[in-house]
């Protein structure tokens, strides 16, 4: 038995609001005490996991298995996710008088987006905890990723998606043998449908931050950024923000690396920027003080489907990251997103999702405003490939 246990250093889950402790070996959703997201906790004394030991590890996010929640290696359901490249964007940088611009290209993940990181972890834990069937409300990419990992794990999958989502997302879910349910509205309407379908708890509900493990998959971007940049973090990270798991997860990873001694306690952490679409910018509005919170925010669809999350449950955690990191929040228009997308393609050969277009054009805006200085290292997180968004992009390229 002991031979099959990984080096996972997971101890328990704790409530993100009050710290109450929960058991990771049974199904968990939001905390009973505060109805808040649960966070995984590990034993992290300095030297307990050494960064030198990473050199021999798998070239996927499982290289960090000690800091991931899956206990038994046979439950690691993998399609080769993570360990995506960080590419220097020299031509774009030169054209915009930036010294150091790079992109972590998450479009190269299985199923074409960084959602693979989170869903591989949630589905692996679902298997480990003996779940039979999973359900998810999604703007597109998360549903596709869940369907793929459920297929690989042999679990039943139900995906609830807005009707206006491009066909490529729907077809791929069907291909993986998921049950696809279409809903009129945005992801919050899909979430209501999921709740109605799951009243008797048949399904493990994999909604963003309503279970603790997608966050753990997404945090591996933080480990990779540090490791791939030789432990020299960028000054600014541009993140296209919907539910916020990546933003919260990367920040969690930075703190875990400090606790482990992978990063020095004094090392300044990057300023984190939440980029949203003007059509659905609840975090920007709250951050700028236009509303107390997003409880009643009404959003519209956007070409960047992943950003259409009008009332994210992780809002307080996201706002903490923005404040603690001296970051900011900024919205871009649909047309600006297309401009960003077109420039990434034309100057660098990267076919980004509209979410990726949004962060590049937001970088240009922050540079013009003086919030980003020309000498700073800016890292773009291109969260997905443009390939599934053809219905949104067709005929809208900005050409020179
Ligand atoms: C889901 C998604 C996002 C937003 O990610 P969150 O973790 O929900 O903030 C950004 N880009 C793409 C391509 C997505 O699929
Ligand atoms: Zn609590």
What pLDDT digit, counting tens, does each position of 218-248 carry? 999 999 999 999 999 999 999 999 999 999 9
List the domain boundaries for the chain: 86-111+213-393
Residue whose CA lies nearest to ligand 1 atom number 3: 306
Residue whose CA lies nearest to ligand 1 atom number 5: 242
Residue whose CA lies nearest to ligand 1 atom number 14: 306
pLDDT of residue 162: 97
Residue whose CA lies nearest to ligand 1 atom number 13: 384
CA angle 79, 83, 88 (to 5 degrees): 135
pLDDT of residue 5: 61
Alpha helices (runs of H) in the chain, residue ranges in sequence order: 90-95, 115-128, 141-153, 167-175, 187-197, 214-228, 245-260, 282-287, 315-324, 334-348, 354-368, 390-393
- Rounded to the nearest whole angstrom, what is the distance from the C-alpha of residue 84 to the centroid of ligand 1? 16
Residue range 322-341: average pLDDT? 98
pLDDT of residue 44: 93
> What is the per-residue pLDDT across 95-135, written as a single tens digit (0 to 9) for each?
999 999 999 999 999 999 999 999 999 999 999 999 999 99
- Rounded to the nearest whole angstrom, what is the distance from the C-alpha of residue 53 to the centroid of ligand 1? 31
pLDDT at 4 over 80: no
pLDDT at 3 over 50: no
> What is the per-residue pLDDT across 350-376, written as a single tens digit (0 to 9) for each?
999 999 999 999 999 999 999 999 999
Residue range 147-158: average pLDDT? 98
Pocket of ligand 1 (CB under 6 A): 113, 115, 141-142, 208, 240-246, 306, 353, 355, 383-384
Kindly report the number of other CB atoms within 10 A of residue 307's CB atom: 30
> What is the per-residue pLDDT across 31-54, written as a single tens digit (0 to 9) for each?
999 999 999 999 998 988 899 888
> What is the per-residue pLDDT across 46-100, written as a single tens digit (0 to 9) for each?
988 899 888 889 999 999 999 999 999 999 999 999 999 999 999 999 999 999 9
CA distances from 49 to 251, 254, 377 (A): 19, 15, 28
- Rounded to the nearest whole angstrom, what is the distance from the C-alpha of residue 187 to the centroid of ligand 1? 12
Nearest ligand, CA of residue 238?
Answer: 1
pLDDT of residue 48: 85
pLDDT of residue 1: 35
Mutate-to-test residue for ligand 1 from 217, 384, 387, highest number of ligand atoms within 8 A of CB: 384
Point out which residues pair with 157 in neighbouring strands.
134
Residue whose CA lies nearest to ligand 1 atom number 4: 242
pLDDT of residue 400: 79
pLDDT of residue 47: 84
Q: Which atom of ligand 1 is nearest to the CA of 353?
A: 13
DSSP state of 6: -
Residue whose CA lies nearest to ligand 1 atom number 8: 243
pLDDT at 263 over 60: yes
Nearest ligand, CA of residue 36?
Answer: 2
The fold adopted by the segment(s) 86-111+213-393 is Rossmann fold (3.40.50)
Compute the distance between CA of residue 331 and CA of residue 285 in angstroms, rounded to an integer.
Answer: 9
What average pLDDT does the chain have? 96
Nearest ligand, CA of residue 317?
Answer: 1
Q: Which two tokens stand for residue 277?
A: 């679409």
**Residue with the two structure tokens 């798998």:** 58
- Rounded to the nearest whole angstrom, what is the distance from the C-alpha of residue 30 to the centroid of ligand 2? 9
Mutate-to-test residue for ligand 1 from 221, 239, 315, 383, highest number of ligand atoms within 8 A of CB: 383
DSSP state of 352: B
pLDDT at 387 over 60: yes
């Amino acid at each position: 038995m002991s031979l099959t246990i990984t080096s996972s250093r997971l101890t328990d889950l704790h409530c993100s609001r009050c710290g109450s402790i929960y058991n990771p070996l049974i199904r968990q959703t939001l905390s009973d005490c505060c109805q808040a997201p649960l966070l995984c906790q590990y034993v992290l004394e300095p030297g307990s996991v050494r960064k030198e030991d990473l050199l021999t590890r798998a070239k996927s996010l499982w290289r960090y298995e000690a800091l991931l929640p899956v206990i038994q290696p046979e439950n690691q359901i993998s399609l080769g996710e993570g360990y995506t490249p960080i590419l220097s964007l020299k031509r774009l940088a030169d054209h915009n008088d930036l010294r150091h611009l790079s992109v972590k290209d998450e479009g190269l993940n299985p199923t074409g987006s960084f959602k693979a990181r989170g869903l591989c972890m949630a589905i692996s834990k679902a298997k480990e905890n003996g779940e039979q069937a999973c359900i998810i409300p999604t703007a597109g990419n998360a549903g596709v990723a869940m369907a793929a990992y459920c297929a690989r794990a042999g679990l039943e999958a139900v995906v609830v998606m807005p009707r206006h989502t491009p066909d490529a997302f729907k077809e791929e879910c069907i291909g993986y043998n998921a049950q696809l349910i279409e809903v009129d509205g945005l992801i919050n309407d899909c979430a209501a449908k999921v709740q109605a379908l799951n009243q008797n708890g048949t399904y493990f509900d994999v909604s963003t931050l309503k279970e603790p493990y997608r966050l753990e998959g997404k945090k591996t971007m933080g480990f990779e950024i540090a490791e791939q940049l030789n432990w020299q973090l960028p000054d600014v990270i541009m993140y296209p923000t919907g539910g916020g798991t990546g933003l919260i997860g990367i920040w969690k990873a930075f703190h875990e690396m400090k606790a482990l001694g992978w990063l020095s306690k004094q090392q300044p952490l990057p300023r984190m920027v939440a980029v949203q679409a003007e059509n659905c910018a609840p975090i920007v509005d709250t951050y700028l003080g236009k509303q107390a919170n997003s409880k009643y925010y009404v959003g519209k669809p956007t070409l960047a489907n992943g950003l259409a999350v009008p009332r994210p449950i992780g809002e307080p955690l996201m706002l903490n990251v923005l404040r603690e990191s001296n970051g900011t929040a900024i919205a871009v228009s649909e047309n600006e997103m297309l401009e960003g997308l077109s420039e990434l393609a034309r100057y660098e050969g990267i076919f980004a999702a509209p979410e990726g277009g949004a962060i590049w054009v937001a970088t240009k805006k922050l540079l013009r405003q003086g919030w980003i200085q020309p000498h700073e290292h800016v890292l773009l997180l291109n969260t997905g490939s443009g390939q599934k968004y053809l219905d949104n992009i067709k005929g809208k390229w900005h050409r020179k």
